[in-house]
Copies of this chain bind each other. A is one copy, B any other.
Amino acid sequence: MTTLDPVAATCPAPLAEAERVLLGHGSGGQLSADLLRDVIIPALGPAAPAGALQDAALVEVGGLELVLSTDSFVVSPAFFPGGDIGSLAVHGTINDVAMRGAEPLGLSLALVVEEGYELADLRRVTGSVGRAAAAAGVPVVTGDTKVVGRGAADGIFITTTGLGRRLPGAAVGAECGRPGDIVLLSGPIGLHGTTIMSVREGLGFDSDIASDSQPLHRLVRAMIAAGGADVHVLRDPTRGGVASALTELAAASGVGVELAETALPVPPTVAAACDILGLDALHVANEGCLVAFVTPAAAGAVLAAMRALPEGSAAVRVGHVVAEHPGRVVMRTALGARRIVDMLIGEQLPRIC
């Protein structure tokens, strides 16, 4: 690239130049956003309503506020400390539904399986789906199975879709953040991504670390019960990590976010893995925590409600929302400096979920 234009320099492969799909297009970061904006949304044009293709859609039917969310899971390896592709699919979709302030009611399960895949592994994965769904109290209500020839898929891919109903009193949305809101985080960050990396890359952390994969719908229910419409924004920071999630939310709400580095709960093993790999824990994928923007008046009650549940026992306040630098996340470091937190640009690790 010959230009020094800082905007162009943040995007290593504009879509006009890249004529093929790159791994980074699936990162959940900037390239994913570009693909969505430049290719998928325009193509769906007449069919896609405003705000379509968020993590979950709000659909009004006969006076009911329903939520629909879908996700494909291609994680490699399919089995990892703390879960597998089956439980991850159930948790991930439950969480996407919950982040719209909704109670998940049922899931669909679509499998694409490679010919020759071991039936024992298929039993293990589907058993894990069944246990995760039962534990969450969200039934699998319908499904589909396709088999493709050897070499046409890598083992098994799972697509789960969740149907939910808005919780009474919930009024959350990515665009609902307001200056003054408190930014809450439900638990430690970076566990899922560093676990997958550790297993994949043989870093040797895998006995000390496990994915945080877990369902968060009960946590959301407790938060809405405590804070009602004062809970403005909910998001699970999966691909792209906390940094990408907060940057997207800041942009959607037209606000800035100020983070306090010292408040961020980064477990020592995550910090160690990030050190070795030269990663920022803020960019690492999570599968069992959420960020929330809540009014100052309700933040205390919401935080207390979160801490009363196991999945929110380590919830903390990590920052606040400001009117300045809209669309930007700025972190005050331990040394008192301020740095801009960017979205993940390309691909940190493919097939993280």
Contacts and interface: CB of A to CB of B under 8 A. Distances in A.
Interface stretch (A45-53, A176-184, A259-267): A45-53
Q: What's the dominant secondary structure at chain A's contact region? A: mixed
Nearest to A353: B146
A40 B142 contact: no
Q: Give the number of copies in the complex.
A: 2
Contacts of A161: 68, 70, 108, 110, 159, 161
A22 B115 CA distance: 5
Interface stretch (A121-129, A208-216, A250-258, A316-324): A121-129
A174 to B, nearest CB: 13
A69 B142 contact: yes
A117 B35 CA distance: 13
Nearest to A69: B142
A140 B59 CA distance: 11
A347 B113 CA distance: 15
A204 interface: no
A130 B46 CA distance: 7
A156 to B, nearest CB: 9
B146 A114 contact: no
Contacts of A175: none
A142 B62 contact: no
Given A72-B110, A140-B52, A149 B35 contact: no
A139 interface: yes
Interface string A102-140: 000110111111111111101100110111011000111
B48 A147 contact: no
Interface stretch (A12-20, A291-299, A301-309): A12-20
Contacts of A44: 109, 126, 129-130, 133, 140
A129 B57 contact: no
A245 interface: no
Nearest to A67: B142
A115 B43 contact: no
A8 interface: no
B70 A122 contact: no
A143 B110 contact: no
B139 A52 contact: yes
A226 B95 CA distance: 42
A163 interface: yes
A25 interface: yes
A74 interface: yes
Contacts of A105: 59, 61
B126 A56 contact: no
A126 B43 contact: yes
A19 B120 contact: yes
Contact of A106 (B59, B111, B123, B144): B59
Contacts of A347: 147
Nearest to A115: B23
Given A39-B126, A74-B152, A112-B159, 17 more contacts: A15-B119, A19-B120, A21-B118, A25-B145, A26-B147, A40-B111, A40-B126, A44-B130, A47-B131, A52-B142, A59-B105, A59-B106, A61-B165, A70-B110, A71-B144, A72-B144, A161-B161
